[in-house]
Amino acid sequence: MTKKIRLIDIKEEILSENKGLAEKIRASLRKQNVLLINIMGSPGSGKTSLILKTLEEIGSNYKIAVIEADIETMIDAENISRINVPVVQLHTGGFCHVDANMLEKAIESLSLDKLDLVILENVGNLVCPAESDTGALKNIAILSVPEGDDKALKYPLMFAVCEVIVINKIDYLHYEDFNTEKVMENIKILNKDSEIFRLSCKTNEGLEHWLNWLEKEIKDASS
């Protein structure tokens, strides 16, 4: 006779618990008219650079706070704090992503009612952050040209769950075999409603499309 084995699917349980808390966070953000965006991407894709550039360009028009998530170190938080915006550093202690529980802890230390925008820089990788709903209102993935044009196909979940995809470092297009049209086509297959912005934080090319989108979202969230 086969012994009965009880199977407990911990992953399912944790994910559904996380989803519940993420919905609660989203409801609270909507109530307080704050836009919270979650920026994801590989290490070196330009997450911190895009945040710095965004703060430089529109930072004086809005009340903005930044949440920096890293396995350890304060390097990005220190860079951001030079611009004089409130920064919260989340140390995930080895975890490869931010979950709703961690985000709730981070926003507890911010005065949300006094803010227009909160930017979360997630831990750098294209896998785990895509699996975990943080409670953010908008999810953004950055793919930089030097990473190669096969990444949307290799990490499909990330490109399927994000409303916005930023193709960054387009100033590298002269040096790399990066087929932008093909990448955009692949992204659209995974998520036909996604918005794709092509830009360079170095030359500012294309930056206005990202900023226009973000400013519209801030306004929509505030009303």
Binding positions for Mg ion, rule: CB under 5 A: 47-48, 76
Nearer to Mg ion, 47 or 198 (CB): 47
215 to 33, 86, 106: CA distances (angstroms) = 14, 19, 23
Q: Please state, in angstroms and rounded to a whole number, the distance separating the CA atoms of residues 118 and 160.
A: 23
Minimum CB–partner distance for residue 76 and Mg ion (Å): 4
**Dihedral-angle region of residue 92 (phi above 0 means left; psi in -120 to 50 means alpha; beta otherwise):** alpha
Q: How far is the CB of 168 from Mg ion (least distance, A)?
A: 12
Q: Which is nearer to Mg ion, 74 or 211 (CB)?
A: 74
**Residue with Cβ nearer Mg ion (90 or 221):** 90
Question: Of 68 and 149, which CB lies nearer to Mg ion in the complex structure?
Answer: 68
Min CB(12)–Mg ion separation in Å? 31
Residue least distant from Mg ion (Cβ): 48
Question: 169 near 162, Cβ under 8 Å?
Answer: no
CB 74 to Mg ion: min, Å: 11
Strand order in the sheet with 138-144: 87-91, 64-70, 117-121, 35-41, 138-144, 164-168, 195-198
